[in-house]
């Protein structure tokens, strides 16, 4: 009788023989992860020890390429685990996530502070000018060296011990922060019963909230959850001001309630620990530390960009507020508008000014058609096809899987699309990977790992048999995340450490934001925006109205975004060892910069997951605006060429933006695509913050 071991009984430790190397979703249980991680951590540490103790002098292959190849079992487990924790979590998985957070952080610290390994990396780095390396190899060497230094490799022994403690505690806190936000979101229910509660809601909102109610066992009403796809339409259309206020307060106070899910002390401790982390590296603040490895480089560069839009945006928002107040007064309604009133009156003004009704627009944007639009644009630009594989099953029935193939029918990768909100899924929209592209699977670097990429959205699902209809903003989000997805799928590098979206934070939003532009192209709209009942293409008059209205409410949207970015930067620029109460700090900072209270901000600190569910966007929320400078300027290349699908421009876009990962310094990559550096005017024009050309 064969002996059963953990390696043979745990599906995570067996070969993943599913098609394309997909994770064995159906066989995996939450309890499999911790023992699998135990084994993966041991394997990775043994691999790193072997590299560090190598008998031969260090060279690129036996040190850097070997390090890039190491930990493959650990990486695939982490990719699966964190994707499930975000997209289909459970109490058991959340408990495992909390237990594993400090363990994995301790492992990362141990690797980064491995003296023998870093000695070899450092020796190669110091000799890099004399080594015979390809441009990509040199970039990989430099990035590995910088990553180790930024993780504490050059600190003294006592400082390294403290540094590891900080990183372990941060891992616990950021995990708890995200779980607290999800708990507040999944715990809120605004049940609408009777016509009075649903006054003003168009049919598409009623259908979505009816389905949400049925999904949660409520048969006698409509349900508004804290999913953005519920909250925003409700605030836009509900005539019940009292219910709008209730929904708005629940949405904006996530993470700000005393009890088990209170994020106020957690965010405060995170800020204090990040400040200590930065000081150990010799920086005055965490913002200085974080920005030192970005395109911006310094706080003053970020501040200059944000300031360039802040005052014009406030001025535009003030003009918009006047129009909203005038409409409210003309209707004999509230003279003093509150934050929960803005979207409601903005929609009324938009209907009057542009004769543009969301209830008329959405039928032309069924989700299925918009997904077809994504795939069609990708094929016309980059020659890739998305082939549905309905026989393949993922972790949830909502998830659709596609095989991605090149123009010559060679395999490019696998794409998973998870588009609907549910209680087990965190809010927002994001791209992730189950496997990143590389060609460094073995010595010699000629065996390719195909990428497995996933897009997550949180759209409100239509009723059974009915389509999911998107607003134009939601369709833009769909295109945005698909741009990230293409960044992962089209990656064409040798080394996994610089693959796909592994780029500087203020460059990573360029591939996503530039892809949004194709949605607004009339030829794309005429081809794919078709009425879900009649199959009639969207009328030219409606396209014209969408374009005429594209700058409407941009003051409001820009103030909300920029206020969030400014508060983020201010919080992470603090230099005192003790962090302040984050709610009081936020209030004081908004007052200092003159933020209009009626507008608010995209994310308050107590639920700002970009900042506190991980460190990726900490002191980095500005990156969307930074990348918008690049995407607005970059898309002008297609306009200058006379076609949104110009082959030569598309070829450069793929070669230098979507395919290079972090193998090329980002400013150099942009110049190679555009032929020059970016200019800021197209971004300002795009947001309506400069006079429009006549």
- Same domain assignment for residues 628 and 658: yes
Q: Is 481 one of the catalytic residues? A: yes
Over residues 330-337, mean pLDDT: 86
Three-state SS at 395: coil
* Pair 119, 199 in one domain: no
Q: Please check whether residue 459 is in contact with residue 471, taking contact to mean a CB–CB distance below 8 angstroms.
A: no
* pLDDT tens figures, 550-596: 999 999 999 999 999 999 999 999 999 999 999 999 999 999 999 99
Q: Is residue 21 part of a domain?
A: yes
Give the CATH number for residue 103. Answer: 1.10.1370.40
Packed helices 228-237 and 203-215: angle between N→C axes, nearest 10 degrees:
140
How is residue 385 annotated by DSSP? E
Does residue 1 carry a pLDDT above 70?
no
Are 120 and 146 in the same domain?
A: yes
Element (H, E) at 355: none
| Among candidate residues 597, 621, 645, the one where a domain is terminated | 621
Kindly state the percentage of the chain with pLDDT values over 70.
Answer: 98
Cα 487-503-123 angle, rounded to 5 deg: 135
Is residue 388 located within the same domain as residue 294? no
Boundaries of domain holding 213: 189-252
Do both 599 and 497 map to the same domain?
Answer: no
Q: Are residues 418 and 519 in the same domain?
A: yes
Copy the structure tokens of residue 399. 């998830």
Is 162 a member of any domain? no
Per-residue pLDDT of 64-101, as tens digits, reads: 999 999 999 999 999 999 999 999 999 999 999 999 99
Band the pLDDT of 3: cuts 50, 70, 90: very low
User: Quick one: pLDDT band at residue 6, thresholds 50, 70, 90?
Assistant: low
Instruction: Tell me the mean pLDDT in the region 174-183.
Output: 97
Q: What is the DSSP string of 606-672?
A: GG-HHHHSSSTTTT-TTHHHHHHHHHHHHHHHHHHHT-TT-HHHHHHHIIIIIS-TTSS-HHHHHHH
**Separation CA 374–CA 361 (nearest Å):** 19
Model pLDDT for residues 99-127, shown as the tens digit of each residue: 999 999 999 999 999 999 999 999 999 99
Q: Count of domains in the chain?
A: 4
Strands 411-420 and 452-459: parallel
pLDDT score of 446 more than 90: no
Same-domain status, 494 and 544: yes
Is the same domain home to 28 and 126? yes
Is 588 a member of any domain? yes
Domain annotation covers residue 604: yes
Q: Domain for residue 171, yes or no?
A: no
Residue 177 in any domain: the answer is: no
Give the position of tokens 């500005």.
Answer: 622
> Which of these is catalytic: 47, 97, 474, 481?
481
* Residue-wise pLDDT tens digits, 28-49: 999 999 999 999 999 999 999 9
What pLDDT was estimated at residue 441? Answer: 87
Residue 502 and residue 453 share a domain: yes
pLDDT in tens, 641-675: 999 999 999 999 999 999 999 999 999 999 999 99
pLDDT of the residue at 218 = 94
> Does any domain span residue 463?
yes
Residue 397 lies in a domain: yes
Domain endpoint, select from 621, 647, 678: 621
Q: Return phi, psi of residue 457, to 5°.
A: -130, 175
Asked if residue 303 has pLDDT above 70, the reply is yes
Three-state secondary-structure class, residue 401: strand
**CB-based contact 191:219 (threshold 8 Å):** no
Question: Phi, psi (5° rounding) for residue 434?
Answer: -95, -25
**How far, in Å, CA of 603 to CA of 560, rounded?**
8
């Amino acid at each position: 009788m064969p002996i059963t071991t953990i390696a043979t009984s745990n599906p995570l430790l067996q070969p993943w023989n599913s098609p394309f190397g997909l994770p064995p979703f159906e066989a995996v249980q939450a309890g499999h992860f911790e023992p699998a991680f135990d084994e993966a951590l041991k394997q990775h540490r043994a691999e790193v020890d072997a590299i560090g103790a190598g008998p031969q002098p260090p060279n690129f292959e036996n040190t850097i390429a070997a390090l890039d190849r190491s930990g493959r079992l650990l990486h695939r487990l982490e990719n699966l685990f964190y994707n499930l924790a975000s997209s289909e979590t459970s109490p058991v998985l959340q408990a495992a996530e909390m237990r594993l957070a400090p363990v994995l952080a301790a492992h990362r610290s141990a690797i980064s502070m491995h003296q023998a390994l870093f000695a070899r990396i450092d020796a190669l780095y110091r000799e890099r000018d004399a080594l015979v390396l390809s441009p990509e190899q040199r970039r990989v060497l430099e990035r590995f060296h910088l990553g180790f230094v930024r993780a504490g490799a050059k600190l003294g022994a006592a400082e390294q011990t403290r540094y590891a403690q900080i990183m372990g505690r941060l891992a616990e806190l950021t995990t708890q922060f995200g779980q607290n936000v999800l708990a507040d979101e999944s715990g809120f229910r605004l049940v609408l019963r009777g016509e009075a509660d649903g006054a003003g809601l168009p049919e598409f909102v009623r259908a979505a909230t009816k389905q949400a109610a049925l999904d949660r066992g409520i048969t006698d009403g409509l349900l508004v959850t804290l999913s953005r796809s519920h909250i925003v339409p409700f605030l836009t259309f509900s005539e019940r001001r009292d219910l709008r206020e209730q929904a708005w307060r629940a949405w904006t106070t996530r993470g700000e309630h005393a009890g088990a899910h209170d994020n106020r002390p957690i965010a405060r401790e995170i800020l204090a620990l990040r400040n200590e982390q930065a000081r150990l590296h010799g920086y005055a603040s965490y913002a200085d530390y974080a920005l030192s490895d970005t395109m911006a480089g310094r706080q003053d560069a970020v501040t200059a960009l944000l300031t360039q839009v802040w005052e014009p945006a406030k001025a535009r928002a003030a003009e918009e507020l006047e129009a909203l107040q005038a409409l409210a007064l003309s209707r004999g309604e509230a003279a003093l508008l509150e934050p929960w009133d803005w979207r409601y009156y903005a929609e009324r003004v938009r209907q009057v000014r542009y004769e543009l009704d969301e209830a008329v627009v959405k039928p032309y944007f069924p989700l299925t058609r918009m997904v077809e639009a994504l795939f069609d644009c990708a094929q016309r630009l980059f020659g890739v096809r998305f082939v549905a594989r309905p026989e393949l099953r993922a972790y949830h029935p909502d998830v659709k899987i596609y095989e991605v193939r090149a123009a010559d029918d060679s395999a490019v990768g696998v794409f998973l699309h998870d588009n609907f909100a549910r209680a087990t899924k965190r809010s927002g929209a994001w791209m992730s990977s189950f496997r990143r592209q590389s060609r460094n699977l073995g010595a010699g670097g000629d065996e390719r790992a195909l990428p497995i990429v996933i897009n997550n959205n949180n759209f409100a699902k239509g009723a059974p048999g009915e389509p999911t209809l998107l607003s134009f903003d939601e369709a833009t989000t769909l295109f945005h995340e698909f741009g990230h997805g293409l960044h992962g799928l089209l990656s064409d590098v040798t080394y996994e450490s610089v693959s796909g979206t592994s780029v500087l934070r203020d460059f990573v939003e360029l591939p996503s934001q530039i892809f949004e532009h194709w949605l607004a192209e009339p030829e794309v709209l005429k081809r794919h925006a078709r009425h879900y009942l009649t199959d009639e293409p969207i009328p030219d008059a409606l396209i014209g109205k969408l374009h005429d209205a594209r700058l409407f409410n941009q003051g409001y949207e820009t103030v909300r975004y920029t206020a969030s970015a400014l508060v983020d930067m201010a919080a992470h620029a603090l230099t005192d060892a003790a962090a302040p109460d984050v709610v009081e700090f936020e209030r004081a900072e908004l007052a200092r910069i003159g933020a209009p209270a009626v507008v608010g901000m995209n994310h308050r600190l107590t639920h700002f997951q970009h900042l506190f569910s991980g460190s990726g966007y900490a002191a980095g929320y500005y990156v969307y605006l930074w990348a918008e400078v690049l995407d607005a300027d970059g898309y002008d290349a297609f306009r200058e060429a006379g076609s949104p699908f110009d082959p030569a421009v598309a070829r450069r876009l793929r070669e230098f933006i979507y395919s290079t990962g972090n193998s090329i310094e980002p400013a150099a990559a942009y110049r190679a695509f555009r032929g020059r550096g970016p200019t800021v005017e197209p971004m300002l024009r795009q947001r309506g913050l400069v006079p429009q050309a006549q």
